[in-house]
Structure 1
Amino acid sequence: MNMMSRLLQTLMLCTALGALAAGPDSVAKSDRSLWPDKLDSSKGFDRASRAEILVFADALNQLARQDDLKAELHLKSVDAASVAKISERLSATLLSNYREASTACDGKEILCDKLASAADLARSGAALDTQLPAPYQPWLANARAFHRLYAMELLRLAALFPKVSSEIDVFSPAEKTGFELADRHFLFTFDDGPTAKGGSTDALLDTLKQNQIHAMFYMLGDHLKPRSDADAALKQRYDGQCVALHGWEHQSHQKWADWQNSVLNTQKLAQQVFGEAYRPYFRPPYGQRRPDSAAFFAQNQLQVALWNIDSQDWNAKISDVEAAQRVMSLMLLWRRGVILFHDIHPKANRAVPWLVKSLAGSGVSWDRCQQY
C-alpha cells in the first residue's frame, strides 16, 4: 500500500471515530508507530510534544464550541460552567506546555512558531494538514482521531462534574492531580491490588525492580487482607515501592454511606502490614469522592491523590500495546503527571518496560514514589 492510499484509509478511520461519543465504550487509541522520528533525545521528545499539543488544542477548541454538547457526548445534561472552566484550564496548560516544548527550537526544527494564546494553538493545529511535512501526515490522521476521542473523554467528565466527581477537577487545593510535578517528571501508580500470591501484582513488582522503578500502589483493603495473613513476606515484596489507600471495596466513595470507615480501616491495615512503605494518600475509586470531604482527610492526615494520565488498561477494548502507546501520547501532551495503571491486570507488566525503553534518552524522569 502506497503512502497516499494509507493516508486516505487513515482519514476514513478518523472520520468514523469522530462520530462516536467518548463514553465508556469509546477509548482513544494512539498508534505511535506512525510518528516518523525517534524519541531518544530531548529535542525529539519536544518535537513530538509540540505536535500532540497542537492537534489536541484544535480538537478541544472544536468540541468546546459545539452548539449541542449533550448530543455530542450522549448525555442528558451538561454542566456548562464546569465545561467552560475545565476547557479554559486545559487550554492554559497546553499553551504553557507548548512554550516549554519550544525552548530548544532552532532554525532546523519544525512546529516552532511563536504562539501567544490558546486560540493561536488551535489555529495552528487546524492548519497542520497543509503545513506539516509529508512524512508526518499518516501520523496526523491518526492523531486527529485520537485527540478528538480523548477530548471527548475529558469534556464528558467535565460535563458531569461536580454531580459525578472524577479526576477532571479538584474540590480542594490539597488534592493532588499530577499537574503539580515538574516538566518531564512522571510517576507510575497502580490501583486495585494486591492480587493473590503469584499473580499479576507479584510479576509487576519483579518488573519494577528490574527497571529500577519506584511506584505507588493504591490498595483495596479486601484485596490486601487475605495476603496480609497468608504471606508474611509481603512487606519485603514491596521493598522500594510505596503503598497507599484505595478504600476497602472498589465502589464510589461519593455515594457510599460508610466511606469514612472504608478509608480508616484500609489505612489501619496498610500501616500494620507495610510500616514505612505506607504513604498517607487516598485515591478514590473512579475518582469519586464527596465535595465536603476535605476536613475528614485533613483530620486524618491524608491527601486525595488523583491522576492526569489514564492508561485505560482496565478496558477490554484496549490491549497492552495500545495502553502503552496511549500513555506515551498523553505524556507528550501533558509533559508531566501521574500515570494510572492497575496491577490486577497483566497489561501493566508489559506496558511499563516498553515505556521505559522507548523513552530512554528523552529527558523523561521516572519519579520515586518516596518523593511524591
Structure 2
Amino acid sequence: MHRAPGMSVRLKFTLSYAGFVMLAGTLMLVTVWVYLLRGLPDAASSPNGLVPVRAIVLHAYAPATAVVLALLLVFGLLGGWLLAGRMLAPLTRITDATRTAANGSLSHRIELEGRKDEFRELADAFDTMLARLEAHVAEQRRFAATASHELRTPLAITKALLEVTINGPGRDLGELIGRLHNVNARAIDLTEALLLLSRADQRSFTREPVDLSLNVEEAVETLLPLAEKHGVAIEASGDITPAMGSRALLLQLTVNLIHNAIVHNLHGRGIVRVTTGIESGSVTLSVENTGEVLPAQLVSTLTEPFRRGTERIRQDHAGVGLGLAIVKSITEAHDGTLTIVPRPGGGLQVTVRLPAAPPPETLNR
C-alpha cells in the first residue's frame, strides 16, 4: 500500500513530550506570577516619590521567564527525543523482523530480552507466529514435493504401458486397458483426496447438526463388501452422537477410519469395532482394529500425508496414503481432537472427539 510520507512516531512523541513540558512550565510560571502579584502593591512611597513596584518586578521577571521557557523547550525536545528512542527501540526490532519475514526469511526471531510488558508480549507473539508459519510452510513444501512424486508415479506407469504397446503391438489390448484403468483410477482417487484435504484445511463448509451414529451405519454398509473380501468382521455400537459440522466431511472421516481399519488388519480373521458416545459436552467416535503390532514412533507419524505403516505400501485397496491425514484435517476443522494409540495385541485405536451439538431448541432461537 502506497502512503504519503509523514512524521515519524519518535518525532511525534518528542513534540508531544516537549509540548507537555512547556505547558506545565508555563502554568507553573503563571501561578508564581499570580501569587507574587497578589502580595505586591501597585506602587510604594520612597524619598524620591512613588515607585511603581509591579512594573519593576514585571520588568525583572519577564526576561527570567523567557529564559526558563527556552530552557524547558530545549530540555523537552532533547529529553523527549532520547526517551522516545529508548521506548521505541523494541518496536524498531519488531519492524525489522517483519520486513525480514516479508522478504521470505522466516527463520529470524526477535527474542526481545527484558521483563514482560506490552512490547515484549508483542515480540513473543510475533516469534510464535513466525515459528508456526515456518513450520506450516515447511510442511506445505514437503507435502507439495511428496504429492508431486505420488502423482508422477501413475503418470509414469501410464507412459511406460503406452510405450510398451507402441513398441510391441502384439500385446493383449484388453490387459493394457485394464492396467490403464487401474492406474487412472488411482490417480483420480489421489486427486480427489488432495482436493478434500484442501477443502477441510480451508474450513469452507456450512455447519449443521450431524449424528455420527448414522454416519457409522452408512459407512459400514458401504464398506461391508470390502470387509467381507478381506475376511474382517465389523462390530458397530453406540448412542446417538449429535455433532455440529459438515455431514459430507464427517461421513468421509468415518469412511476413512473404517476403511483404514479394514485394509490394515489381519486377513481372514480381523475385527473392527466402531463405537460412538457422548462424554461431558463432547461426542466421540472410536474405531479399533486388530492387526500387526506397530511401534509408538510409527503411530505418531501416521497422520502425515502419504505415510503408511510398514508392509502396507502397495496392498490392494491400500488407498493413496492420505486417509488419516484427511481424518486429522477434518477433525481440526471441526475444532476436535484426534487420538491414535497402538493396541498391545496389534492394530490401532483411533478416537475422534468433537464438540457436541447444542440442543435443538437452542438452534431454533
Shorter-chain TM-score tier? under 0.3
Q: Which has the higher helix share?
A: 2
Q: What TM-score do the two structures reach when normalised by structure 2?
A: 0.25
Larger Rg: 2
Q: Which has the higher strand share?
A: 2
